[in-house]
Structure 1
Amino acid sequence: MRGRVLMSDEAQGASRRPRMDNVIYANFGAKTQVTSTEPEKGEQTGRIRQKRFSPTGNRVVQLTLKNADSGRIRRGEDYYRNDNVTGVQVLEGRISCKVAGSQNEPFDVLMTFPYRGSEKLRAAYATIAETPNGMKLVREGRLTSAMLDHLIGDPDESIYFDCTCPDRTLVCKHAVATAYVVAEKMTANPSMVLDMRGQGMAGLEALINTFHTRGEEEPETNESFWEGHTLPDLPNPKVAAAIDDSDINYLHRALRLVSYTSLEQLRAVSDIEDMYEILTSTHPSQRIDDDDADEE
C-alpha cells in the first residue's frame, strides 16, 4: 500500500463536506426557536428593583421605567452601578447631568418633570399644610401619594428626557441611569424635590406658616370646636454652639460694616466671643454638665 494514506470514516466524511474560502459548512442539527424570557416593557430588572428608595425616589423611577424597554433598563442599571453619572445639577422643573458612555466625551442628559404652574404648586403646598405633620413628612422624605402627584407627577404622567446620545428612543440607557441617581439623591436629600420646584425647604416652611396663620384667623364654628384637629408634633431643635460651629469670618465681615477701624472690628469680635463664653458657661444645662464632670 505504497503511497496511500488510510483515512478514518470521520476524516473521509469531513473531506466530503462543501468547502468555500477554507471554511467548512456543516449542519449541526435542526434549528430551534428560542422564546424570549425578558421582562415586558417598563418592568424593572436586576438588583436595582430591590434597592429601597424613598417614596419620592420610587416615583421618579416609576415615571421613567414605564417608557423604557428591558434591554435599556438593564444597561442603564449597569451604568448606575458603575457610577457613570456625574455632574448632577438641579434646575427649575428639570435636572441635568452627564453620563459617561461609549464615546470619549460624556453625554448630556436633561430630565424634565411634568409642568406645574403656580396654581398647582400652591395646591401642593396647601396639601402639605393640611396634612398632619406635613412638614415633618417632607423633611424626612416620606411624601404622601397626593404630595407626590403634585410635586413629582401622578402615575399617568411621564418624565421626559433629552440625551445627546445617538439613541432616539424616549428613554435611553443613559436616562435610566440618570433616573436611578436622581432617585438616590432625593432619598438622601429630601429637600431636592423642593429645590427642583423652585421653592426650597426654608421657603416652604415660611409659606406653610402663612397657611396656618390664615387658618387661625378664620372663626371657628361649634362643630369644628368640639371635633378638634390633629395637633402636630412639638419641634425638637438641635442644640449647637453658635460661634464654635459657625464661620468666624462672617462675623468679622458683618462688624466691618459698622466699625470705623480694623481695631474696633477686632475689639467688637472679641467682646462678642467673651459674652458668648459667659452666657454659655452660666447656662443651667452647662452647669449640670460641669457638676457631672466634677463628680466623675
Structure 2
Amino acid sequence: MTESRRVKMDNVIYANFGNKQRVSTPEDRVKVTNKSRDKQFSPAGKRTVLLTEKNADRGRQSRGEQYYRNGNVTGMTVLEGRVECTVAGSQNEPFTTTVTFPYRSSEKLREAYSAIADTPNGLRLVRDGHLTSSMLDHLVGGIDESIYFDCTCPDRSLVCKHAVASSLYIAEKMTANPAMILDIRGQGMAGLEALIRTYHSKVAVEPEDNESFWNGKALPGLPDPKIAPAIDDSDINYLHKALRLVSYTSLEQLRAVSDIEDMYEILISNHPDNQQVYEEEDTD
C-alpha cells in the first residue's frame, strides 16, 4: 500500500493549503523586529525611537512594533511639550498614550533657535528634517535623557507596548512633517522663520557710558529746507474746485483764488531769502 503524500500536521490535512509555517522562533521574531528598525525615519524620528527603546524590555518592544505595523495607532494630537496618541488594544475602548518629551525652558529653547540661526543653512536643514546632533539634543532630547509615557492601559511599566507603537507612529509623522518637532516645542516653522529673520537683522548697538548719559551728546544738525512755491508747483484746478463749493458765482470763485494768491505772495515775501531777491530787483 502506497503511503499518502499529503502533509499532515497537528491532525490537520494541508493538501490544499501548503505546509504550515511557524513564525514563533527567536530567529523569526528578530526578523520581525528588524523590519521596523530598518524603516527610514528622519533624525528626529530616530532620536524619538531611541529615547523610547532605551527603557523598553524586549517583549513589550516587539509587541509594540507589531501594533505599529498593524495600524493600531488610530489618532494623534500634538500639544506643547507632548503628544497624545490613541491606540487600539485588546479591549473595546482604545487606550490613550501621552508621550512627553524632555522639558525645555523658554531660555533653553531660545538658545536652540539661536544655534539654528548661527548654523549655515540652519533653517533649510530644519525645514528638510536634517537636524544636526546639537539640534536634536535641544529639540527632541539628549542621548542621556528619556521620553516619558503615561498610558491608560493596565500595564504599569515605564514603557508599555502602546507607548512603543506610539513612538514609532510619531517618528513616522516627524519624517513626513519635519516641522512637527517645532510644533511640539510650541514654536512652529513660521515662528522659527520669524525668529531667524530677527537674529539676522540685529545690529550692534554702541553701549552708552555713564558720562554720556548725564552730559548728553551733540544733537544732529537741523535740516534747512528751501522755500517751495506751493501754489506754483501745485495744480491750481484743485483750488478752484474747492472754492467752487463755497462760491455762488464764478466771479466770486476767481476773486477768492486771486486773494489767496496775493496772501501767499505777502507771506513768502517776508522770508530772508526772498527779501534778498526783492532788494536785488529794486536795485535793478
Q: 2:192 matched to 1:204?
A: yes
1:160 is matched with: 148
In structure 2, the partner of 1:170 is: 158
1:58 and 2:46 equivalent?
yes
Q: How many angstroms apart in 2 are the aligned matches of 1:136 and 1:217?
A: 26
Q: Which runs of 4+ in 1 moved over 3 A?
A: 36-39, 216-219
Name the residue aligned to 1:187. Answer: 175
| Secondary structure, aligned partner of 1:161 | strand
Shift of 1:180: 0.2
Counterpart in the other structure of 1:11: none
Deviations 1:116-140 (A, max 9, x none): 0000000100110010000000000
Q: Larger radius of gyration, structure 1 or 2?
A: 2
Q: Does 1:122 align with 2:110?
A: yes
**Shift in Å, 1:47:** 0.8
Secondary structure of the residue that 1:45 maps to in structure 2? helix
Per the alignment, residue 143 of structure 1 pairs with 131
Shift of 1:38: 11
Is the contact between residue 45 and residue 70 of structure 1 (CA under 8 Å) also seen in structure 2? Answer: no
8 Å contact kept, 1:124–1:147: yes
Aligned equivalents of 1:37 and 1:156: distance in 2? Answer: 31
Structure 2 unmatched runs, 5+: 1-25, 207-284
| Contact residue 76 and residue 175 of structure 1 kept, 8 A | yes
Quote the residue 2:56 is aligned against.
68
TM superposition score normalised by structure 2: 0.61
Structure 1 residues 218 and 139, CA gap change in structure 2 (3 angstroms): farther
Give the TM-score normalised by the residue count of structure 1.
0.58
Q: State percent identity of aligned pairs.
A: 67
- CA–CA distance in structure 1, aligned partners of residues 47 and 61 of structure 2: 16
Do the aligned partners of 1:99 and 1:106 also contact (CA within 8 Å) in 2? yes
SS at match of 1:153: coil
Distance 1:164 1:38 in 2: 31
Q: CA deviation at 1:213?
A: 1.1
Cα distance, 1:46 vs structure 2:
3.1
Q: 1:158 to 1:137 in 2, by over 3 A?
A: same
Answer yes or no: is the 8 Å Cα contact 1:46–1:77 preserved in 2. no
User: Number of residue pairs matched?
Assistant: 180
Shift of 1:86: 1.5
- Residues 46 and 74, structure 1, Cα contact 8 Å, conserved in 2: no
Structure 2 equivalent of residue 104 of structure 1: 92
Task: In structure 2, give the amino acid aligned to 1:76.
Answer: G
- DSSP 3-state at the match of 2:201: helix
Alignment pair present for 1:80 and 2:73: no
Q: 1:38 touches 1:70 (CA, 8 Å); kept in 2?
A: no
Could you tell me how far 1:105 is from its partner in structure 2? 0.4
Matched to 2:131, the amino acid is L
- 1:84 to 1:62, Cα distance in 2 relative to 1, 3 A: same
Matched, 1:95 2:122: no
Letter in 1 for 2:103: Y
Name the structure 2 match of 1:230. none
1:133 maps to which of 80, 99, 121: 121
* CA displacement, residues 186-221 of structure 1 (integer Å, 9 cap, x when unaligned): 00000100000000100100001111111x5469xx
AA at the equivalent of 1:123: E
Q: What is the match of residue 201 of structure 2? A: 213
Change (3 A) 1:103 1:211: same
Instruction: Please give the residue correspondences for 1:284-295 in structure 2 after superposition, counting only pairs within 5 Å.
Output: none
The answer to whether the 8 Å contact 1:92/1:196 transfers is: yes
Q: Secondary structure at the match of 2:117?
A: helix
Contact 1:109/1:162, CA 8 A, preserved across alignment: yes
Residue identity in the other structure for 1:86: T
User: Which SS does the other structure have where 2:178 is aligned?
Assistant: coil
Q: Whole-Å Cα distance in 1 between the matches of residues 172 and 108 of structure 2?
A: 26
Note if contact 1:99-1:107 (Cα within 8 Å) is conserved in structure 2. yes
